[in-house]
Structure 1
Amino acid sequence: MNEFTDEWAEAIRDYLVAQRAAGAPSTTCNTRRQHLEHLARRVSAGPWSLSGEALVAYCGAQEWKPETRRSRRTTFRSFWSWAYATGLCEVNTALALPKVKPGQARPRPTPERVYEHALARSDERLRLILRLAHDAGLRRSEIAQVHSDDLFEDLTGWSLRVHGKGSKERDVPLTPRLALELRSLPYGWAFPGDDGGHLSPRWVGKLATNVLPDHWTLHTLRHSFGTRIYAHSDLAVAQAALGHASPATTRIYVVVPDERIRGAVLAAAG
């Protein structure tokens, strides 16, 4: 692995300026920067001389899961489309990349015993992080950005305005315990840090990984939330609570209870 050149550094910097000017959230910009820097360190050509064949060879050499591969392809398509449109390159290099089929992802909700064990190993701040994923279904980037200004009360209780992916917002009802914990914090960010005043999403995820065993993560706690919501309602409610644009995405998050399947089979059989 090599240090990337000044040409790559300038190209990535200018691309991210254009992304921010277009309203891309900081989480998207950070992800795309990481994708491009990973590429820049592993190819010998500059961004405007890299061939489509070399880009395909780089992607083909990586041991990525399908969703990771799809995400990298999206970044590269965006980067070279911007460069082609602005006249920085004569060919859109990323057009050489083949389409990537979605992976057959399966829900992986964290067992309650694992969650309870993680809570027991956590301090007060980390327990709140875990509860925001388990009880409210927040992503790590959303947890990082929780602010007291986003708490509000309506006729049925307290809710949190969540700043989700793609600058989309959703209102998530809070359990009484979670609402009380958030309301008890000082004014400002729930988790102060150096990333615009709050902790970075990466650090939030790392903190949780330190107390969650095996391969359980904040994301699998989010799967748990979606599965419990679906068990007590339907797919549309789970989709809204999780902040998904498509019900197909929500199906990746929720486990259909066996008793529901059995009940449907018996009912269909008369």
Structure 2
Amino acid sequence: MRMPKLSCHKATGQARVRLNGRDFYCGTFGSAQADLRYLELLRQYRAGELPAAPPAKSAKIPAGESTTPDLTKGSPRTVELLAARYVTDHARVHYRHPDGRPTTEQEGLKRALAWLTRCPEGKLPPDQFGPRALKSIRAAMVESGRLSRKTVNQHIGRIRRMFRWAASEELVKVEVFSALATVQGLQRGRTVAPDHPPRTPVAWEDVEKTLPYLPAPMRALVLVQWHCGARGGELLIMRPCDIDRTSEIWEYTPPTHKGAWRGKGRLILLGREAQAILLPLLAVKAPTEHVFSPRDSRERSGVGDVYDNNAYSKWVRQAAKQAGAKHWSPHMLRHAYGTRVRAVAGIEQARVLLGHASCVTSEIYARADVESVRGIVQQLG
């Protein structure tokens, strides 16, 4: 059964959820108190104990008054309330890019912790949540038939990290996390949870078939990714001011990237083919405007001035289906580029161009690596 989601009541600024045809107001939208009240309402809804809906209240609550318990005081009574506190106090702050945008881990965390609401083990007091409870939730994930073995292991790892954080905040005993750490991940071939086949490079024929069915900005995005092998997320945030065009091979430094939090640098080399695609786009863009923007297309499929990874992947999947091409995703463009580089120059050069350098490599050696592959970029175009 799908649970109704919280929405923001614009007139009052309160979080609102509709249950049994009635609106319930949970407090200021985005606050920890609202999340706590929401989870309590869901519990009562499932148990058939839903109270009468209170009238909407002003978002301005007088000093000293509160419509919900203070989530910052004491330890949460249940595991699902602990999850709400973990999200509001830690995840929303920790899993963010330097520019403030949430990372994809926030979405993965939301999906993992949702299982604590669906399963009865989520009603347990945190100190009573042990390995058997965690395995029971894992079994429910597997039995759903919708998750791969890798995804199940990732979700269980996220729940364990929540308890590690709770132990560090003295919300649960350290022994609780230590016990959960003994639960091993599902192993290949020893579970009914399926394994996805390994990703393979997309063939140019399928890319070529798909291009006419994509909006103009995404056609350019696909072609640039094909010719440089960057991650989709790195290209989606590209701005003219991030590209050094002073040499024959352009150098693009993404404002943020996957390894930034580890202190790693990222430099993407753009050869003549990628440059030819980018030149007309750069000519009409201000230095800080995004190169690939939904505003440049009739099909508005992004938020504001920039596409996100989900919109990019969705457009590619739909366009490939319309074109009668084989199913492919943007990340397969990166695989295709790596395969071409490896065929021409070997695996070490592919590692450098794809940004797989070790995080302990010094800046001097990293620069030497980049210089060593410039010829490969010229050869591939």
> Which residue is 1:19 aligned to?
94
Pick aligned residue for 1:170 from 239, 247, 266: 266
Report the alpha carbon displacement of residue 116 of structure 1 after superposing the two structures with TM: 0.6
> Which residue is 2:328 aligned to?
216
Conserved in 2, the CA contact under 8 Å of 1:2 and 1:42?
no
- Structure 2: which amino acid aligns with 1:99? G
Matched, 1:5 2:101: no
* Distance in 1 separating the partners of 2:336 and 2:213: 19
> Which residue is 2:311 aligned to?
203
The equivalences for 1:233-248 within 5 A come to 233-245=345-357
Matched, 1:161 2:262: no
- Normalized per residue, the structure richer in helix is 1
Gaps of 5+ in 2: 4-37, 41-80, 189-194, 295-301, 359-381
User: What percentage of aligned pairs have identical amino acids?
Assistant: 20
* Distance in 2 separating the partners of 1:215 and 1:55: 35
Q: Which moved more, 1:237-246 or 1:198-207?
A: 237-246
Select the structure of larger CA radius of gyration.
2
- Structure 2: which amino acid aligns with 1:36? A
Give the alignment's TM-score, normalised by structure 2. 0.56
> Which residue is 2:19 aligned to?
none
| Cα RMSD after superposing both structures | 3.2
* SS of alignment partner, residue 268 of structure 2: strand
Pick aligned residue for 2:275 from 167, 172, 179: 179
* SS of alignment partner, residue 155 of structure 1: coil
Report the alpha carbon displacement of residue 21 of structure 1 after superposing the two structures with TM: 8.1
* SS of alignment partner, residue 199 of structure 1: coil
Conserved in 1, the CA contact under 8 Å of 2:227 and 2:273?
no
> Which residue is 2:230 aligned to?
138
> Which residue is 1:42 aligned to?
118
> Which residue is 1:255 aligned to?
none
Conserved in 1, the CA contact under 8 Å of 2:290 and 2:306?
yes
Give the number of aligned pairs: 246
* Distance in 2 separating the partners of 1:51 and 1:169: 40
The higher relative CO (CA closer than 8 Å, separation ≥ 6) is in 1
Conserved in 2, the CA contact under 8 Å of 1:148 and 1:182?
no
* SS of alignment partner, residue 79 of structure 1: helix
> Which residue is 2:339 aligned to?
227
Gaps of 5+ in 1: 247-270
Q: 1:82/1:32 Cα in 2 relative to 1: closer, same or farther (>3 Å)?
A: farther
- Structure 1: which amino acid aligns with 2:223? R
The equivalences for 1:57-72 within 5 A come to 57-61=136-140, 62=142, 63=145, 64-72=147-155
Conserved in 2, the CA contact under 8 Å of 1:137 and 1:222?
yes
Report the alpha carbon displacement of residue 100 of structure 1 after superposing the two structures with TM: 4.6
Conserved in 2, the CA contact under 8 Å of 1:151 and 1:159?
yes
* Distance in 2 separating the partners of 1:242 and 1:125: 23
